[in-house]
């Protein structure tokens, strides 16, 4: 019976490894999705910077047209000087020319400001493109690393599954059926160590006589509280030494 208990302990350890490997394997799609979202976010940031540049360039083109119109207006006003008949009209014309020139000056200031913004946006684009390139390279490396890890997990899982098949072949069907039923209903712990007159699976006390019998490792004894199969580790360890 001690050998059967040892096999159950071994099987439970194997099943724990399988669960761990499957959990890690199942995380890969989430990891790859996160990497893809990171890539999309980087490209979105780059697109926003480019949109800002395009917007500033459009505003500058519009202001360039405004300035061209303003310059033409001043030129036309100046050509009217030959039509002036008196000083009053001449003073009025000078004021109109001055106002137009001031407006043109304000447009020129706007254009200068826009040119500075365009230069700054162009610089941000260069920096963003470099950052996007570096991030894309890092993401690609991470993706390959995770895919390699996934492939390794697959290989290890196959080996562990083969190990499991060898283990269950040595366990009586009835006992294996009991173990598998407990494994599915007891949070992956079907066989638990009895320690200090308590079950290490549910942490409840075991009746003294039951504990004495468990320490012998001569029979399949279930915890009276949670139903898990109990074993005494020290006896198994000593006999396996």
Question: Is residue 17 one of the residues assigned to a domain?
Answer: no
Tell me which DSSP letter residue 188 carries: T
What number is the average pLDDT over the span 5-22? Answer: 94
Classify residue 160 by burial, with Cβ atoms within 10 Å: 0-12, 13-18, 19+.
middle
Q: Does residue 63 sit within a domain? A: yes
Q: How far apart are CA 125 and CA 157, in angstroms?
A: 46
Q: In this structure, are 132 and 191 located in the same domain? A: no
**152 shares its domain with 203:** no
% of the chain surpassing 90 pLDDT: 71
CATH of the domain at 99: 1.10.287.1490
- Enumerate the β-bridge partners of residue 198: 195, 205
140 and 86 housed in the same domain: yes
- In a domain, residue 6? The reply is no
Give the integer Cα–Cα distance in Å for 64 and 106: 12
Q: Which tens digit of pLDDT belongs to each residue from 149-204?
A: 999 999 999 999 999 999 999 999 999 999 999 999 999 999 999 999 999 999 99
Both 163 and 178 in a single domain?
no
**Averaged pLDDT of the chain:** 91
45, 90: one domain: yes
Full-model pTM: 0.65
Cβ contacts of residue 81 below 8 Å, gap of 6+? 90, 93
SS3 186: coil
3-class secondary-structure state, position 225: coil
What integer pLDDT is reported at residue 239 of this predicted model?
A: 53
Same domain, yes or no: 152 and 195: no
Q: Which domain holds residue 162?
A: 23-168
Counting the structural domains of the chain, the total is 2
Same-domain check for residues 29 and 48? yes
Do 162 and 63 fall within a single domain? yes
**Which stretches within the chain are classed as H helix?**
2-26, 28-79, 87-168, 173-185, 208-216, 233-240
- Specify if 98 maps to a domain: yes
Q: What is the pLDDT of residue 234?
A: 84
Count of CA atoms in the C-beta half-sphere (13 A) of 175: 21
Q: Which two tokens stand for residue 21?
A: 């490997």
Q: Are residues 80 and 115 in the same domain?
A: yes
Task: Say how far apart CA 181 and CA 190 lie, in whole Å.
Answer: 8
Which of 115, 141, 168 lies at the terminal end of a domain, its last residue?
A: 168
215 Cβ neighbours under 8 A, 6+ residues apart:
194, 232, 235
Note the pLDDT of residue 235.
Answer: 73
Residue 3 maps to a domain: no
pLDDT computed for residue 241 by the predictor: 45
pLDDT in tens, 14-25: 999 999 999 988
Contact 239, 4 (CB under 8 A): no
Which of 168, 197, 230 terminates a domain? The answer is 168
**For 170, phi and psi rounded to 5 degrees?**
-100, 0
| Residue at a domain's end among 133, 149, 168 | 168
178 and 216 in a single domain? The answer is yes
> 83 — alpha (psi -120 to 50), left (phi > 0) or beta?
alpha
């Amino acid at each position: 019976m001690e050998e059967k208990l040892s096999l159950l302990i071994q099987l439970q350890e194997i099943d724990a490894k399988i669960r761990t490997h499957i959990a890690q394997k199942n995380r890969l799609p989430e990891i790859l999705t996160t990497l893809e979202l990171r890539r999309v976010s980087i490209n979105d940031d780059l697109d926003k910077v480019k949109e800002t540049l395009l917007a500033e360039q459009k505003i500058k083109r519009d202001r360039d047209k405004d300035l061209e119109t303003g310059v033409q207006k001043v030129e036309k006003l100046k050509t009217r000087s030959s039509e002036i008949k008196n000083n009053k009209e001449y003073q009025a014309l000078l004021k109109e020319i001055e106002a137009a020139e001031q407006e043109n000056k304000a447009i020129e200031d706007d254009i200068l400001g826009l040119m500075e913004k365009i230069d700054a946006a162009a610089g941000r684009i260069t920096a963003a493109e470099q950052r996007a390139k570096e991030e894309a390279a890092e993401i690609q490396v991470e993706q390959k690393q995770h895919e390699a890890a996934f492939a390794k997990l697959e290989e290890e899982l196959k080996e562990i599954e083969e190990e499991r098949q060898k283990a269950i072949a040595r366990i009586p069907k009835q006992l294996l059926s009991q173990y598998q039923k407990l494994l599915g209903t007891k949070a992956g712990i079907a066989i638990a160590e009895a320690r200090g007159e308590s079950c290490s699976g549910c942490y409840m006390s075991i009746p003294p006589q039951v504990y004495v019998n468990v320490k012998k490792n001569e029979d399949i004894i279930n915890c009276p509280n949670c139903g898990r199969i109990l074993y005494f580790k020290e006896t198994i360890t000593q006999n396996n030494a």
